[in-house]
Amino acid sequence: MKIPEIKLIPQPETDEAEKALGYEWNKEAGTRHKLGGEPDGLSEEMYPKCVSCNSKMTFYAQIDSIGDKYDLADCMVIHQFVCFDCFEVSCQLTQTIV
């Protein structure tokens, strides 16, 4: 199953949150949040398998590093996967090219 891509755009609700966003040195990092579509930096062969049924999981979401202050190991993203049969989930940190 493939979920259609839905871009997520951060909407900070405070001045402190606004200041946390973005990178001084890279304009793409911190903007790669999305639901569905294809995960950045991963091929389908790299998708995890469900622990319960051993089926390849569906890519569900990608959460990017927030910014310089809350960086995930040099701009990594969190990829979330789900098995729609068993409702097991799996997450992994992935380094993508920016």
Whether residue 77 contacts residue 37, with contact meaning beta carbons closer than 8 Å, is answered with no
The residue assigned the tokens 């809350």 is 70
Q: Is 74 helix (H, G, I), strand (E, B) or coil?
A: coil
- 55 or 68: which carries more pLDDT confidence? 55
- 69 or 81: which carries more pLDDT confidence? 81
Q: Is 51 helix (H, G, I), strand (E, B) or coil?
A: coil
The DSSP element (H or E) to which 60 belongs, if any, is strand 58-64
The predicted-structure confidence for 8-61, as pLDDT tens digits, reads as follows: 999 999 999 999 988 888 788 889 999 999 999 899 999 999 999 999 999 999
Residue 92 has pLDDT above 60, yes or no: yes
For the beta carbon of residue 98, count every other beta carbon within 10 angstroms. 19
Whether residue 79 contacts residue 62, with contact meaning beta carbons closer than 8 Å, is answered with yes
* Closest C-alpha to 64, from 31, 92, 15, 38: 31
The pLDDT confidence band at residue 98, using thresholds 50, 70 and 90, is low
pTM, two decimals, is 0.87
For the beta carbon of residue 46, count every other beta carbon within 10 angstroms. 11
pLDDT at 85: 97
